[in-house]
Amino acid sequence: MTPQTSTNSTPIIQIQNVHKRFHTLRGTVHALRGVSLDVQPGEVVVIIGPSGSGKSTLLRCINRLETTDSGRIIVDNIPLTGAKNINKVRAEVGMVFQSFNLFPDKTALENITLAQRVVRKRRKAEAEARAHDLLAKVGIPDKADAYPGQLSGGQQQRVAIARALAMDPKIMLFDEPTSALDPEMIKEVLDVMLALAREGMTMVVVSHEMGFARAAADRAVFMDEGLIIEEGEPDVLFSNPTHERTKLFLSKIL
Amino acid sequence: MPDERDYPEVQPAQPMPPQHSGEIYDDLQFEVKESLGDRLMNWIAGLPWWAIILAVVAVAALYSMFTSAAYRDVLRALTDNPQVTTEDLFEVVQIVGEPTMIVGRYVGESQDSVSTVITSLLDDVIDSELVQRAGFLVREDPATITIQTESGRVTIPRQRITAMDPPDAGLGDNVSVEYIERVTVTGTLTARDDKTLTIRTVNEQIETFDTDRILSEETTTTPEGEELVRIEREGLSYRGRLTALSQTGISLVQEDETRVELRRADVAFLAIPTLTVALNAAAAERTIGPDDEVRIGFVQGTDITRALQELDSLDGIPVPLRYGAGAARAALISYADLAAMMGAVAAGELDAALYLSGAEDRLAMAEWVENNPDAAVVLPTPPRECQRNCTVTVKLRDDVVEGRVLERTADTISIQTVAPEFVVIDRDQILENRRTEPGACALNNLRGCNAGIFLTLRVTFMAYGLALIIGLFFGLMRVQKNPILYAFSTLYVEVVRGIPLLVILLYAGFVVSPWLRDNTPLKLSDEWEAVLGLSFGYGAFIAEIFRAGIQSISRGQMEAARSLGMSYPQAMRYVVLPQAVRVVLPPLGNDFIAMLKDSALISVLALPDLLQLGRLYISRTFRAFEGYNTVALLYLLMTLFLSLLVRVIERRTRLPG
Ligand SMILES: Nc1ncnc2c1ncn2[C@@H]1O[C@H](COP(=O)(O)OP(=O)(O)OP(=O)(O)O)[C@@H](O)[C@H]1O
Ligand SMILES: [Mg+2]
C-alpha cells in the first residue's frame, strides 16, 4: 500500500487535542486525554492498545456516537463540534461494530436496504440491486433472505460491512470487527476488509490482528490510557517499538 | 413427525438433516393406521389446556343457553335484544325544502293530490314550516302564482299553498298567502339508495288475540278495494293474587308468576273477596266471658280460614263482639245459604255471621239487613274488600279493533290496526340532516346495537386504541434524555398508576366532563367519558410497557441505525420500535384483556354495559344466579378468545433463527 500523503491533500479526518470524560456514579473516567490524529484519504490506520485505553471511544467520537469535551474533530471538511448536519456526516462514515448490531427482525437484504431507502431515499429496486451487489462482494450472495439469527458470526459481520458500504461512505470505521468471532470465521471477514483496503477506502480499524495490519495498514497507532503513545508503519512499530509501554503491550499479544 | 406422515409427497427433495424424533418412525409411516376415534383423542390430548377449557365452557354455555328460557332471556337482555334483520336502519329527522318531492305514501295517493297529502301529513308526523307573504298578485298560472312583495317577487307553487286571503284574488289584488317552505320528516329510515330515502313516519301496529274473544265481526271494503274488519272483542280476564289496589290501578300476580298492572278505568268487572260481619243485636250488647261459647256462622263453601284471617286484619274497626277477660270458645257452624244463616242470627241461634263473598254478591248480607229492618241483626262495620294477597278476578272492558286482517289461524287472529306510512324523499331535496341515530339492533344493522356486550366491546376497543396512543407517546418520553419530557411523563405514570381506575373514571365523569361542558364547547357523552377515563388510566401502564420494550432493545441497535445516518426519530421508527413492538405484544395483549374486564367499572357512569344490563335484569327478575352466570360467562368467553388471539399473534411474530 502506498500512503497517499501527497502534500496538497487535506486529511479527511482531523482529530486535534480531543478530550473526553465519562461521568458515572462511581466517578469520572478520563477516556481521551488530548488525542490528535490525521487520516489522509485512502489511508488505512490500525489502532492497537490495551483494554480501556480509549480506542473505541476515539472511534465513536469520529462519527459522533460520543460527544467530545474539548478539541476538534473535522471529518471531510465538516467540523463535528456543533455540527447540525451530523446525520449527513454519519452517512459518509460507515461503522462496523464488534457485536455486529444487525437488525434482528430484518433479513440480510432488508438490513442493507433500510438506510439506503430512509436516508439516501433510493427506490426499492435500486436499493435491492445495490444490496445484492454488496452481498456478492462480501461473499454471501445466497443469504439475502436469511435473518441474522440464521447466519454465522462471520456471515453476520460481512452483512454488517455490506450494510455500512451500501451508504457509499468515504470512511469506514471498524471497532474490533473480528474479536467476537470464532477463529475459522476471522479470515473471511479480514479478507473482505483487505479487499476494501486495496480498493482505496479510507479505514480506521481497531484490531489486534497483526497479520491484517501488516498486509493492509499504512500506519499503526498505539494508544494507552487515553493517549496516542506511538505511531508508525506497522512493520516498524511492531518489530521496533520505541516506547516501553508499546514493547510491554506487544510482548503480551504477540 | 405427523406432518410428513400426512403429506408424504411434500417431503423435501434434498436429504433432511437427521432429526431425533423423526428417524424412529420413518420406516413405520405406512403401518401406523389410527382409527378415527384415536385420532380425535390424540388431537384433543394435543390441545393446550386453554383450548380445552374454552371448548368445554363454550359447549356448556351454548347448551344451557339454548335449552333454558331463563338464560335465553338474560342473553337477549345482555346483547341489546338483537333481531336477525331489521328495516329500522336509522331514526332520522330530515328537513326538506320542496314538498313536491314527497312522491307518495304507502296508502297510495296519486301524484296530483300531493297537496292533500301534505296537508294531511301536516297533522301527523311531518311538521312543516309555514311562511306568510303579503303583496300584490302579479301573475297566475296553473302551477304557480307570483306575488310582488316589498322585498321583491316571490313565485310560489300552488301545491304548497295552505291558505290564501282572499281566496279568489285576481291579478293586481292585495293578497296574503300562507305556504309551506320547509318540511320536517321524522321517522325511521327503512331503505335508501343513491337518490332517495324511504322513511317510515308512522309505525305499524298489530294486535294479535284469541279468536274466541271475538263477539262480533263485520267486514267493509274501502273504495281502494281493501278489506277492513271491525271486531268487537271480549275484554281479557285475569285471575291471580292481588298485590296492590288503588283508586287508579290494580296489580296482581298470575299463577304463572307473571305480573299484571291494570288501569281501573279499563276494568269492566272486578271480583275481590269482601268480608261482611253481622251480629245478633243482643250479642252485640253482651260481654263475653271466658267460659262462654261464641257461635259463629258461615255459608258452606266459604274459605273460613281466609275469612278469619281477614277478620284479624280489620284494623281500626271496632271489635265486633265485646270480650271480657280470657278467651272464649268459638263454635263454627255452617249453613246452606245466606238466608238460612241470617235467619239463625236474627233468631239468636248465632252470635255472629261471617260472609266472604266474590264480586256479584258482595253486598248480599248488607242488603239482607236492609231488607229485614225488623230482624235483630246489626252490621258493626261496612263490607270490607280484601286489600292484598287474596285471589281476585279481573275482567277488562270489551273493546273494538279495526283494521286489516293479516293472519287468521285456528286460535288466533292478527289485525293491523295502524298501517305503516312511508315517505320517499329525494336526497337532493334535503336541506338539513337534523338527526340520524342508529335504529334497531339486528344482525344487518349492528350499529344500532348500543348496549350490553356491544357497548363493552366498543368502549374497550376505543379506549384501548386511545390508550395505545397515549402509552406510546409517554413511553417514548420516558426514554428521553430531556429532563422536562422525562419528568413530565414520569409524573403522569406515577400519579395515574397510584389512583384506582374507578376513581379516575369518576373524575372523568363528574369532574372533567362537567368542567369541559361549562368552560368549553365540548360536550362529552357518557360513553366518551368512559373511553377517556379508561384510556387515561391504562395509558400509564401501557407507557411503562413501551418504555420497558424500548429499553429492552440493545443500545447497539440505536447506534447502528444512527451510524448509518438515520435521525433519532427515523432510528426509533424503523429500527427500535419494530423490535420493541414484538417484545411488548404479549404484555399489551394482557393489558387489553385486563381492560376488557375493567370496563365493567364504567357502569358507575350510568352506562348500560354488560354488567349494568345484567344487574338491571337481575333487579327486574331476581334471577341473580342466571344473570351473573351469563355476565361472567360472556366476559370469560371474550377474554379467552382474546388470549387465544394474543398467543396466535405472539407465535406469528416470533423471529426465525
Ligand atoms: N459510556 C461509557 N460510560 C462510562 N465509561 C465509559 C463509557 N464508555 C467507555 N467508558 C470508559 O472509558 C474508558 C475507555 O473505554 P473504551 O471502550 O474506549 O476502551 P477500549 O480501548 O475500546 O477497550 P477495549 O479494548 O476493552 O474495547 C474505559 O475506562 C471505559 O470504562
Ligand atoms: Mg473497545
pLDDT in tens, A41-69: 999 999 999 999 999 999 999 988 888 89
Nearest-angstrom CA–CA distance, B39 and B41: 5
The answer to whether the CB atoms of B564 and A97 lie below 8 A apart is no
Say if CB A46 and CB A217 are below 8 A apart: yes
Residue of A nearest to B557 (CA): A101
Nearest to B421 by CA among B51, B107, B93: B107
Residue with cell 289485525: B415
Nearest to B101 by CA among B196, B192, B200: B196
- Is some CB atom of chain A closer than 8 A to the CB atom of B56? no
DSSP string, B232-278: EEPPPEEEEEEEEE-SSEEEEEETTS-EEEEEGGGEEEEE--EEEEE
Torsion of CA B300, B302, B306, B310, to 10 degrees: -100
- For residue B358, give every residue at least 6 positions away whose Cβ sits within 8 Å of its Cβ, in sequence order, or none: B271, B273, B274, B393
For residue A50, give the ligand 1 atom closest to its CA.
25
Q: Kindly state if the Cβ of A22 falls inside 6 Å of ligand 1.
A: yes
Average pLDDT in the B400-429 region? 83
Of B554, B563, B565, the CB nearest to A65: B563
For the ranges A224-233, B135-144, B358-367, the maximum mean pLDDT occurs at A224-233
- Is some CB atom of chain A closer than 8 A to the CB atom of B556? yes
Nearest-angstrom CA–CA distance, B363 and B309: 20
Chain A nearest CA to B656, separation (Å): 7
Rounded alpha-carbon distances, angstroms, from residue A123 to B289, B362, B471: 118, 100, 33
Taking 90 as the threshold, does the pLDDT of residue A103 lie above it? yes
Residue of A nearest to B575 (CA): A103
Could you read off the pLDDT of B8-24 as tens digits, one per residue?
A: 343 344 444 444 443 43
Nearest to A197 by CA among A177, A222, A223, A227: A177
Taking 60 as the threshold, does the pLDDT of residue B580 lie above it? yes
Rounded alpha-carbon distances, angstroms, from residue B495 to A113, A208, B491, B500, B533: 43, 52, 6, 10, 14
Give the distance (Å) from ligand 1 centre to CA of residue A31.
7
Nearest-angstrom CA–CA distance, A80 and A67: 9
The answer to whether the CB atoms of B563 and A95 lie below 8 A apart is yes
The answer to whether the CB atoms of A94 and B578 lie below 8 A apart is no
pLDDT score of A4: 46
pLDDT score of B653: 81
Q: Determine which of A161-165, B198-202, B384-388, B554-558 has the lowest per-residue pLDDT on average.
A: B384-388
Nearest to B160 by CA among B186, B128, B189: B128
Could you read off the pLDDT of B520-568 as tens digits, one per residue?
A: 888 888 889 999 999 999 999 999 999 999 999 999 999 999 999 898 9
Could you read off the pLDDT of B419-430 as tens digits, one per residue?
A: 777 777 777 777
pLDDT score of B98: 56
List of chain B residues whose C-beta atoms are within 8 Å of the C-beta of residue A118: 566, 570, 574
Nearest-angstrom CA–CA distance, B512 and B529: 9
Average pLDDT of the residues of chain A: 90
Residue of B nearest to A117 (CA): B566
pLDDT score of B283: 74
Say if CB B87 and CB B418 are below 8 A apart: no
- Which residue's alpha carbon is at the smallest distance from atom 12 of ligand 1? A31
Q: What is the pTM of this model?
A: 0.69
The answer to whether the CB atoms of A95 and B574 lie below 8 A apart is no
Q: In b/e form, how buried is each residue of B412-448, taking b as 16+ CB within 10 angstroms?
A: ebebbeebbbbbbbeeebbeeeeeeeebbbbeebeeb
Could you read off the pLDDT of B321-331 as tens digits, one per residue?
A: 555 555 667 77
Nearest-angstrom CA–CA distance, B88 and B442: 9
Give the distance (Å) from ligand 1 centre to CA of residue B569.
27
* Phi, psi values for residue B561, rounded to 5°: -65, -45
Could you read off the pLDDT of A170-206 as tens digits, one per residue?
A: 999 999 999 888 888 899 999 999 999 999 999 999 9
Return the percentage of chain B with pLDDT > 90, whole number.
Answer: 19
Chain A nearest CA to B20, separation (Å): 21
Nearest-angstrom CA–CA distance, B36 and B146: 88
DSSP string, B402-465: EEEEEEE-SSEEEEEEE--EEEEEEGGGEEEEEEEEE---BTTBGGG--SBHHHHHHHHHHHHH
Of A101, A105, A114, the CB nearest to B559: A101
DSSP string, B8-67: GGGS-SSPPPP-HHHHHHHTTTTT----HHHHHHHHHHHS-HHHHHHHHHHHHHHHHHHH
Cell numbers for B237: 280476564
Q: Kindly state if the Cβ of A60 falls inside 6 Å of ligand 1.
A: no
Torsion of CA B117, B123, B126, B132, to 10 degrees: 90
In 3-state terms, what secondary structure has residue B181?
strand
Cell numbers for B351: 252470635
- Which residue's alpha carbon is at the smallest distance from atom 17 of ligand 1? A56
- Please report which confidence band the pLDDT of residue B110 belongs to, taking 50, 70 and 90 as the band edges: very low
* Phi, psi values for residue B12, rounded to 5°: -60, 145
Give the count of Cβ contacts less than 8 A between chain A and B.
71
Nearest-angstrom CA–CA distance, B548 and B588: 12
Outline where B83-173 has alpha helix (H): 114-123
DSSP string, A21-63: EEEETTEEEEEEEEEEEEE-TT-EEEEE--TTSSHHHHHHHHT
Q: Which residues pair with A220 in a beta bridge?
A: A46, A232
The answer to whether the CB atoms of A167 and B565 lie below 8 A apart is yes
The answer to whether the CB atoms of B657 and A147 lie below 8 A apart is yes
Nearest to B403 by CA among B225, B223, B232, B231: B231
Give the CA radius of gyration of chain A: 18
Burial environment of residue B30 by CB neighbours within 10 A (0 to 12, 13 to 18, 19 or more): exposed
Q: Kindly state if the Cβ of A130 falls inside 6 Å of ligand 1.
A: no
Q: Kindly state if the Cβ of A8 falls inside 6 Å of ligand 1.
A: no
Mutational pocket test of ligand 1: of A19, A56, A60, A245, the residue with most ligand atoms within 8 Å of the beta carbon: A56
pLDDT score of B9: 41
Give the CA radius of gyration of chain B: 40
pLDDT score of B33: 56
Measured CB to CB, residues of chain A less than 8 Å from chain B are 63, 65, 87-88, 90-91, 93-95, 97, 99, 101-105, 114-115, 118-119, 146-151, 160, 163-164, 167
pLDDT score of B22: 38
* Phi, psi values for residue A109, rounded to 5°: -60, -45
Q: Kindly state if the Cβ of A68 falls inside 6 Å of ligand 1.
A: no
pLDDT score of B285: 74
pLDDT score of B65: 66
Q: How many CB atoms lie within 10 A of CB B13?
A: 4
Of A102, A115, A151, the CB nearest to B565: A115
- For residue B434, give every residue at least 6 positions away whose Cβ sits within 8 Å of its Cβ, in sequence order, or none: B93, B94, B95, B184
